[in-house]
Amino acid sequence: CRIQYHFGEFGNYSLVVKTLSTSTKTVSCDLVINEGPINSYLPILFAFLVYMGLFAILIIGHLSMKINPVRNWVYKTLNPRETDRLINSELGSPNAADSASSDPTPPLWSAAPRQRLRSLDTFRGLSLVIMVFVNYGGGKYWFFKHESWNGKLHLASSLFCRFVFIMGTSILLSLSSMLRWGSSKQKVLGKIVWRSFLLILLGIIVVNPNYCLGPLSWDTLRIPGVLQRLGVTYLVVAALELLFTKPGAESGTLETPCPALQDILPYWPQWICILTLEVIWLCLTFLLPVPGCPRGYLGPGGIGDFGSYPNCTGGAAGYIDRLLLGEKHIYQHPSSNVIYQTAMPYDPEGILGTINSIFMAFLGLQAGKILLFYRNQHKQILCRFVIWSIVMGMISAILTKCSKEEGFIPINKNLWSISYVTTTSCFAFILLSLMYYLVDVKRLWSGAPFFYPGMNSILVYIGHEVFENYFPFKWKMQDTQSHAEHLTQNLTATTLWVVISYLLYRRRIFWKI
């Protein structure tokens, strides 16, 4: 009996199988709907309309503030002293100091010249906001969850890697700025090491929350994590850039025999180091003998592969983590254990995958070099972003054979496979080029509201992790199976962090490490 049917959520169904002929062994299969399903996507539509309404109100308010009578009325209402200032101004005797101190704050969409590339902070902020929403539950929708193992790139699966990518871009611009202002390489290296140490330390504190359960047990301390991986990645990529940077690179005026490749050829030692790391990843992944597992195994273990390798979750990547860190010091509940019923712990931020996160950040560093060397050459920048996207996409197509399971190296977020990095970097280059065009070239968009979390990314990330289970970011729901309630709660929590980052921005409070 074979039948294909798209089952709706919360529907109740019966499958009626009848034997039509005992001699020919033919049967009929009928699906009976006992209770109709609900439309689980209506909450998304409603939330979209609410946010679009708020956006329209902001636009109308912004345009209204350009009308002098409306602007004056608003200022008089909000600030009674504004009346005196306006009267003095009309009499021709304004006080310069008072005028400067009482000038209205810059509008949300300002057309004033900007030195900082807002598209980078917007890119980072967009990735961070969606990451916060997904980590809070994503409304319990399947497409906001991480893939169990190999598979398509859901929205949730490409967020962290985009954050790593833009970190690489920021590394290049930050180091070039420090060197241009006369900082010595030794001093810059000290800052790199210190920042990496802080990221790793904060990461260990954040992923081991025992705020209400007493002292933290060192026996079960989880060592890997998101911030830990960011710290190690930052250390390696920033140190490589600092070590092999050329005179004139900080100003984007490096002389090379081939100007068309001035952002690549002078940095061949960096490329050799990165490619060497990738060779190490390939050798360890496909040649390292893992007890009880076939060489090069990339599967989830458990009941995957017909239960042939139940204790081989992650292959070499899982084995290295368990060997060097210990089973109790890595993530105990990987996304694979629900579908594949895995019994082995596996950490998606483990040691072996960090090699490919370094490669991802290095690709982001390459984007930064394009922005630096081709400053104000918008066409060159956009063309090079597109070329890099095409190259990464072609490599992904070869590695995966454009299939989910049949490729040489499948796309896998848990393993941070090389095909996962090339695929996500393909989309990262496209997204960055789009934001660069809209925000910094045409200035059709200021980057709001994502620009504000992007300016305080560490604070927002750590804050959303620490206060995840506290009101007003979470509360007891009436129906835990309701998408509407989950979506309301998750969107409210995410919006609160955007508002907090905006208020901090207005007060010029930025948490930098």
Q: Catalytic residue numbers? A: 146
Q: Are 315 and 279 in contact (CB under 8 A)?
A: no
Q: Which residue has the tokens 């704050």?
A: 105
Of 166, 201, 171, nearest in space to 189 by CA? 171
Convert 202-221 to b/e letters by CB count within 10 Å (16 or more is b).
bbbebbeeeeeeeeeeeeee
How far apart CA 354 and CA 229 sit, in angstroms, is 6
Q: Concatenated DSSP letters for 263-279?
A: TTGGGHHHHHHHHHHHH
How far apart CA 410 and CA 298 sit, in angstroms, is 9
How far apart CA 188 and CA 240 sit, in angstroms, is 12
- Contact partners, residue 233, CB within 8 Å, separation at least 6: 164, 167, 354, 357, 358, 360, 361
Of 78, 163, 151, 89, nearest in space to 125 by CA? 163
How far apart CA 366 and CA 360 sit, in angstroms, is 10
How far apart CA 374 and CA 299 sit, in angstroms, is 43
Q: Are 189 and 242 in contact (CB under 8 A)?
A: yes
Beta strands 12-21 and 26-35 are: antiparallel
CB atoms within 10 A of CB 79: 13
Helix or strand run (H / E) with residue 53: helix 42-64
- Largest pairwise CA distance in the chain: 106
Angle, CA of 190, 195 and 201, to the nearest 5°: 125
Q: C-alpha distances in angstroms, 408 versus 215, 395, 418?
A: 46, 11, 11
| Tokens standing for residue 294 | 């076939």
Q: Up-side HSE of residue 45: CA atoms within 13 Å toward CB?
A: 4
How far apart CA 123 and CA 513 sit, in angstroms, is 20
| Tokens standing for residue 186 | 């030794």
